[in-house]
Structure 1
């Protein structure tokens, strides 16, 4: 297909944006008595040049080995951001930045949240990015191929289950989460979906009730926002 587009436009393949990207194949291990192996196949995201240095690629281009030891800190790979807006008059807000250095690698979430009352609050990626005047239309948790709610380290969980954050009365919450299941590209991409901060603590599906198996009994969202690529 790329060859045909190139010929029709009078270009060589090297002139087609993104030429040379690899197909990435990721295996999600089987869970005994629950599901077999899951295989994801997608094209490595094309990182447009924003006049920033990029990671040096060592060895054969086809192997795409990134030498992290000499990688400059100013080239963070893929990044996304969410601006959290209060649901109705909750007063909760903040900003979180998502960073994924290696395609299909872990995602780091960092930022600050203000206005939360003391206690534990669930953090979830929801299916829809339909954030208008409130957080009522963002849909269920982003499930992808896992069908039961759980904690961030559980083998069975929704992709969007990111656990809890702890707030102290009147203090800004400094967030740092590293998650190995969400992604900024491919079938598990959270970009274009919404992130919500829940009113209550997420019980990780341990309560043996229907609500616990769906949402962790964490209650309604206090704040939410659409996740979008940074730059």
Structure 2
């Protein structure tokens, strides 16, 4: 026996988006903290967004370099601080994770600068197609993990630039997990 409205109809099965890959980064430094969320948007595009805040004496108003670094270790007691996170993320046969060398600003871990307001707050929203959260040669989840670093100065994105032109000192770090 069929109900009048449903007889002969095939109900569509609900569809769900494919597994959503996300990662979280808890950023910390001297009087600096925040959270960034990385979301896989497709085969190889990752959105990075979140909020960072700090004392404006430490997280000064203006632009700060923000990069994915090659090692998932954030040791603030290292000399210099957070040097345990290695150079900019740049795996592969032609990449280089040396902190400053000839292929800068073309590391896979290079991201747009963080813009901090007068109160020491920043909202970050960027998309990169240079890394992935899924398995593969450019995954941030490789054998030694990855971290996100906030630098003291802006990244001027100059090829063959000095360390200061690539953001200078490291003032905050968070492991991508």
Q: What TM-score do you get using the length of structure 1 for normalisation? A: 0.57
In structure 2, what is the Cα distance between the partners aligned to 1:85 and 1:142?
Answer: 19
Note the residue ranges of structure 1 that are not aligned, 5 or more in a row.
Answer: 1-54, 57-70, 151-156
Check whether the contact 2:90–2:108 (CA below 8 A) recurs between aligned residues. Answer: yes
Structure 1 residue 196: Cα displacement: 0.4
In structure 1, what is the Cα distance between the partners aligned to 2:153 and 2:19?
Answer: 33
Higher relative contact order (CA 8 A, sep 6+): 2
Q: 1:140 aligns with which of 72, 77, 87?
A: 87
SS in 2 for 1:173: strand
Structure 1 residue 169: Cα displacement: 1.4
Check whether the contact 1:163–1:204 (CA below 8 A) recurs between aligned residues. Answer: no
Question: Is 2:43 aligned against 1:94?
Answer: no
Question: Is 2:130 aligned against 1:181?
Answer: yes
Note the residue ranges of structure 2 that are not aligned, 5 or more in a row.
Answer: 1-13, 97-102
4+ residue runs of structure 1 moved beyond 6 angstroms? none
1:111 — aligned with what?
A: 50
Q: What TM-score do you get using the length of structure 2 for normalisation? A: 0.73
Q: 2:27 aligns with which of 75, 81, 84?
A: 84
In structure 2, what is the Cα distance between the partners aligned to 1:133 and 1:172?
Answer: 21
Question: Is 2:160 aligned against 1:160?
Answer: no
Structure 1 residue 113: Cα displacement: 0.3
